[in-house]
């Protein structure tokens, strides 16, 4: 079938994930002190070895074992898991690299916050939870032992129970003061911006607007 994932393709993608994920693993092991960092950090760092070994187990055993219908049905999930490992290895490496070179707890947290912000607010525990979800979905004997599959499921529950490592900060508000003449058009982020030939048009929420006494206020 067109687009069907092949055994060789899965082996290649898993192989591509090994080196970058190992770099992320080594960066996490370089951290000796997690003080000042959220609880998610030592938990995620402690389980990266587990993910790394799962990648290698899938790649090595897939290359050695005879193809079966059961393993063939897992080619697409395994390929997706491997691709996610490749895509997220850089983020994980950056997170650990950015916090390992300081002993200041406040600075560690600030560096983590900055790294997460560059990744659209992605939290370290969210990455780990998604990796584990994909791993559990892809794992199948004999490529992954039944014992390891059960461990993956237990670790997935542990990570899912973690408190968020970063709080979602509320967006700021806008204050508008207009005491003169002329037209004023402002959009606060929600609602429609319609054609207006003059006067005032203010749409969206989360703002405070002040006008001179002879002006009208219009919100949408």
Q: Could you tell me which residues come within 8 angstroms of residue 125 by beta carbon, excluding any fewer than 6 positions away? A: 40, 43, 44, 159, 162, 164, 165
- One CATH from 1.20.1410, 1.20.1260, 1.10.3470, 3.30.750 for 7-160: 1.20.1410
Domain boundaries, the chain: 7-160, 174-211
From the number of C-beta atoms within 10 Å of its C-beta (0-12, 13-18, 19+), residue 73 rates as exposed
Q: Could you tell me which residues come within 8 angstroms of residue 193 by beta carbon, excluding any fewer than 6 positions away? A: 185, 187, 201, 203
* pLDDT at position 169 over 60: no
What pLDDT sits at residue 213?
A: 52
Mean pLDDT of the chain: 84
Q: What confidence tens digit (pLDDT) does each residue in 94-140 have?
A: 999 999 888 899 999 999 999 999 999 999 999 999 999 999 999 99
Q: Check: CB of residue 10 under 8 Å from CB of residue 62.
A: yes
What pLDDT sits at residue 109?
A: 94
What pLDDT sits at residue 202?
A: 56
């Amino acid at each position: 079938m067109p687009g069907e994932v092949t055994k060789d393709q899965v082996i290649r993608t898993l192989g591509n994930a090994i080196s970058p994920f190992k770099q992320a693993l080594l960066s996490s092991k370089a951290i000796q002190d997690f003080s000042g960092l959220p609880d998610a950090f030592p938990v995620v760092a402690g389980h990266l070895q587990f993910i790394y070994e799962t990648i290698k187990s899938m790649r090595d055993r897939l290359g050695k074992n005879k193809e079966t219908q059961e393993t063939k049905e897992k080619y697409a999930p395994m390929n997706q898991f491997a691709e996610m490992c490749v895509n997220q290895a850089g983020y994980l490496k950056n997170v650990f690299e950015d916090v390992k070179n300081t002993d200041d707890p406040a600075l560690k947290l600030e560096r983590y916050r900055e790294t997460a912000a560059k990744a659209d607010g992605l939290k370290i525990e969210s990455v780990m939870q998604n990796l584990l979800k994909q791993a559990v979905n892809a794992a199948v004997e004999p490529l992954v032992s039944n014992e390891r599959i059960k461990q993956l499921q237990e670790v997935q529950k542990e990570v899912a129970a973690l408190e968020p490592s970063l709080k979602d900060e509320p967006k700021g508000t806008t204050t508008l003061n207009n005491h003169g003449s002329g037209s004023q058009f402002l959009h606060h982020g929600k609602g429609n911006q319609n054609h207006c030939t003059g006067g005032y048009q203010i749409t969206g929420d989360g703002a405070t607007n002040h006008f001179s006494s002879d002006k009208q206020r219009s919100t949408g």
